[in-house]
Amino acid sequence: MITRNQASLVQLACNRKVTILLSFQFILCQGIMTSSRHTNSKRIEGLDKNVWVAFTSVAADPTIVNLGQGFPDIPPPAYVKEGLANAAAVDKLNQYTRGFGHPALVKALSQVYGKVYGQQIDPFKEILVTVGGYGSLFSAMQGLVEVGDEVIIIEPFFDCYVPMVRMAGAKPILIPLRVKTNIVSSADWVLDPAELASKFTSKTKAIIINTPNNPIGKIFTRDELQMIADLCIKHDTLCISDEVYEWLIYKGHQHIKIATLPGMWDRTITISSAGKTFSVTGWKLGWSIGPEHLIKHLQTVMQNTLYTCPTPLQEAVAQGLLRDYELMGQPDCYFSSLAVELEGKRDRMAAILQDVGMSPIIPEGGYFMCVDVTSLNQDLSHMGDDEPYDYKFVKWMIKEKKLAAIPVTAFCGDASKKQFEKYIRLCFIKKDSTLDAAEAILKNWNS
């Protein structure tokens, strides 16, 4: 690490040789000491890579048609924006609110979910407001998952589950959804019951489920959830149910909360997101709902991590929820009207892909669609061998075709990469002009 320049300095200054030598040694030692001692803590070892950090900056280029990261480019409903502007105009709503959730918000959540669950939900003891669904996942892991525990994760999974489990010092146990021969819809991806049962051991602390699933769009049926519930009860494990896309359910399907199955309320944390519910991902508000004896541990994590979420945003979400609560079951309710709007986009996206010879997996819910790109026959051997095919494909497609997607192997473990490496994920909660632009790129693929 001694550069030529630094060595020359030492040579030149004869009468201040000692001082410079000492200073130089000091700087050198600083450099060595800095790099060897101030390293990361063990808990985050190997957790620095992240698919979003890798792909979102690339897609920030405005010339790229971005069907990658999951956020709308359509505006949120006007009353939601107004709610925020109104909240920010009230002095005390610019100051700290209750740590575990702004009272107006937890009360509104208690009303809405009380209706959905068909039971009373205590706003102060059975709800925690967090920084997005992400923050709820983190609070649940940190609060409930111990070093040495095992946590079952179903592939493909929202990518943060594995690093969060690892950061809690636990071991992720992966089980893939497997597909029958003709893949038409996300319903064709199912768990093998015997395989699932084999994953439960005495070390299993929890299973994470995500319904509707990101990236596939699968909605777990009542029977599938019952199978999981039976195992949870048999092995006395917890269930962390990520239901951020709970309202984005397409015709002919029903979202079922595993927490409503017999014996499951007491062992389930259910996670939701204001960002996904109201098309405001940039508000970063979510919540966990569950029994007091579990939620209290998430609250402990909250009070030792960020203490409270932003006040005006919580107030605005509360107002939005109350408005839609009154309309629940009616077509005007945003929870249903958004799903209707997105179903149209889903169908359009599917048609675009089918028209160019690809086979999309039609999602039953959520706002993503996965598609097998094999039929495009894109030769990427020039890109080397160190990444799965889908990573190479997406990087190539962003660069050459100006269309961004997300590689599906980002959502699975190493052992399953071969199973998923021909799939890419497209987000369709985009305005028509964005979908038009994507269509144009795909139609002109071979030109």
Applying the rule CB under 8 A, the residues between 39 and 68 that interact with another protein are 39-44, 47-48, 50, 52-53, 56-57
SS3 414: helix
Among residues 25, 198, 300, 444, the one that binds another protein under rule CB under 8 A:
300
Nearest-angstrom CA–CA distance, 404 and 370? 13
Q: For residues 102 and 422, which CB has a smaller minimum distance to another protein in the complex?
A: 102
Q: For residues 121 and 160, which CB has a smaller minimum distance to another protein in the complex?
A: 160
- Please count the residues of this chain forming the interface with another protein, following the rule CB under 8 A: 90
Give residues 115-134 in contact with another protein (rule: CB under 8 A): 131-132, 134
Single-letter amino acid code for the residue at 413: G
Among residues 73, 192, 292, 355, the one that binds another protein under rule CB under 8 A:
73
The answer to whether 425 and 408 have CB atoms below 8 angstroms apart is yes
Among residues 173, 313, 317, 358, the one that binds another protein under rule CB under 8 A:
313
Pairing of strands 268-273, 127-130: unpaired
Q: For residues 301 and 339, which CB has a smaller minimum distance to another protein in the complex?
A: 301
In degrees, rounded to 5, the angle at the alpha carbon of residue 417 between the alpha carbons of residues 412 and 418 is 150
Instruction: Tell me how far CA of residue 202 lies from CA of 17, 199, 294, 343, in angstroms.
Output: 67, 10, 20, 42
363 in contact with another protein (CB under 8 A): no
402 in contact with another protein (CB under 8 A): no
282 in contact with another protein (CB under 8 A): yes
Least CB distance to another protein at residue 314 (A):
9
145 in contact with another protein (CB under 8 A): yes
Least CB distance to another protein at residue 405 (A):
17
19 in contact with another protein (CB under 8 A): no
Instruction: Tell me how far CA of residue 104 lies from CA of 111, 123, 214, 235, 312, in angstroms.
Output: 11, 10, 30, 38, 11
DSSP E strand boundaries for 41-186? 65-66, 127-130, 150-155, 171-176, 178-179
In degrees, rounded to 5, the angle at the alpha carbon of residue 368 between the alpha carbons of residues 282 and 433 is 75
Nearest-angstrom CA–CA distance, 297 and 300? 5
Binding marks (x or -) toward another protein, 223..262, rule CB under 8 A? ----------x--x-x-----------------------x
Q: For residues 395 and 430, which CB has a smaller minimum distance to another protein in the complex?
A: 430
Least CB distance to another protein at residue 385 (A):
27
Nearest-angstrom CA–CA distance, 164 and 171? 10
30 in contact with another protein (CB under 8 A): yes
Least CB distance to another protein at residue 306 (A):
4
303 in contact with another protein (CB under 8 A): yes
85 in contact with another protein (CB under 8 A): yes
Single-letter amino acid code for the residue at 316: A
Among residues 204, 281, 319, 409, the one that binds another protein under rule CB under 8 A:
281
Among residues 20, 54, 58, 98, the one that binds another protein under rule CB under 8 A:
98
Among residues 114, 163, 323, 419, the one that binds another protein under rule CB under 8 A:
163
The answer to whether 136 and 128 have CB atoms below 8 angstroms apart is yes
Among residues 7, 13, 28, 89, the one that binds another protein under rule CB under 8 A:
89
Nearest-angstrom CA–CA distance, 120 and 113? 9
Among residues 25, 34, 201, 433, the one that binds another protein under rule CB under 8 A:
34
Nearest-angstrom CA–CA distance, 407 and 425? 6
Single-letter amino acid code for the residue at 10: V
